[in-house]
Chain A
Amino acid sequence: MPDKPEAETVEIFIMGKKYEVPKGLTIMKAMEYSGYQYIRGVGCRGGFCGACATIYRLEGDYKLHTDLACQTTVQDGMYLTQLPFTPAGRKEYDLEELQVSNNPLLDLYPELARCVSCNTCTKTCPQDLEVMDFVNEAIRGNVGKVAELSFDCIQCGLCAARCPAEIPHHHVGQLARRIYGRYQAPESEHLEERVEEIKNGVFDDDLEELVNLPEEELRERYENREIES
């Protein structure tokens, strides 16, 4: 920062090595500032892709904290490493062949039954999801509830890394959302109607017109388009 000659800094430890970094940076930017170059373990930089899972401890605090590197600001005395990927077996399945009534979640992931309700997964989740609750709903075969409770999961895998029962929570949630979408979510009538209209060529002429428009006019129309609020 050229206008502030002496920027305030904090001291952090990346994989045990000490660095002075400007205060206010995210963990991700602090790592780049310290000379690390991301090839993996980074994605959207906006807290949505789940690629930059990070674990850290703070000086004088026994707790192991978990977060996303792109969303968390560095603190003085932070000991951190990234854990961008957790090996967790994802089962192969054909969505068309799964039977909701037979508890496919437990069938495909019987390790769910090893849950001891320690709640570590919930405490770990950087999205603040009630992970243990959806694991319990999965044991009971309540696919809809698992889909609902896991909806904001970004598949970072931190829960699976911490679980003493070795459950791949994020894959279970994903399976539940897929089953829910395929078999249980109510169909959207508007969407069905619109798809039918498209199939029947209702919009063919409009589309044809757009395709043949000169770029300048297309740009103008785009900029002046109606946006629903």
Chain B
Amino acid sequence: MDLTNSDRELTAEVEELSGENIFSCYQCGKCSAGCPFTDEMDLLPNQVLRKVQMGDESVLDSNTPWTCASCLSCEVDCPKGNNVPAIMEAIREISLRKNLDRVDLNELKTKELPEIALVSNLRKKTG
């Protein structure tokens, strides 16, 4: 990974979309310790934050922001008061704003899914 060349565009974009200060994270790992879905994630939440700090665009391909259920357990645990779910949402938004939906409505088996599941999912996973 070439850190010297990075102009940290991603970092600035995530900070703008989330309204959070990414650099206040000091990698204590509490977000990952409390996250109930880490076994489904290819990067731990704190690793996602570290990569964003470094401007590493590979986080855009990570499944972690899409596995995040915005349950906010990391947010209540963060000693720095970081809104980690907002950072995950910012990463999702970067893709969604390029018209890259995560969920394809045409493929979806909507039968028997309650509206509350559909509304929330489509709000988080389509642009």
Contacts and interface: CB of A to CB of B under 8 A. Distances in A.
B122 A114 contact: yes
A contact patch SS: helix
Contacts of B121: 113
B112 interface: yes
Contacts of B108: 110
Contacts of A102: 111-112
Contact of A139 (B110, B119, B123, B126): B119
A209 to B, nearest CB: 55
A10 interface: no
Contacts of A114: 119, 122-123, 126
B112 A110 contact: no
A140 B115 CA distance: 7
A153 B122 CA distance: 27
Contact of B110 (A106, A140, A141): A106
A111 interface: yes
Interface string A113-145: 110000000000000000000000001110000
Quick one: which of A103, A107, A110 has the most chain B CB within 10 A? A110
B119 A113 contact: yes
Contacts of B123: 114
A138 to B, nearest CB: 9
B118 A106 contact: yes
Interface residues of A, number: 11
A106 B122 CA distance: 13
Nearest to A141: B115
A106 B115 contact: yes
B105 interface: yes
Contact of A107 (B110, B122, B126): B110
B110 A110 contact: yes
Contacts of A103: 115
Q: Which of A106, A139, A140 has the most CB of B within 10 A?
A: A106
A129 B110 CA distance: 28
Contacts of B118: 106, 110, 113
A113 B118 CA distance: 6
A102 B112 CA distance: 7
B10 to A, nearest CB: 26
A113 B119 CA distance: 4
A103 B126 CA distance: 22
Nearest to A115: B119
Interface in B70-122: 105, 108, 110-112, 115, 118-119, 121-122
A229 B126 CA distance: 55
19 contacts: A102-B112, A103-B115, A106-B110, A106-B115, A106-B118, A107-B110, A110-B105, A110-B108, A110-B118, A111-B105, A111-B122, A113-B118, A113-B122, A114-B119, A114-B122, A114-B126, A139-B115, A139-B119, A140-B115
Given A107-B111, A110-B122, 10 more contacts: A102-B111, A102-B112, A103-B115, A110-B110, A111-B105, A113-B115, A113-B119, A114-B119, A114-B122, A139-B119
Minimum-distance CB pairs A-B, first 3: A113-B118, A113-B119, A110-B110
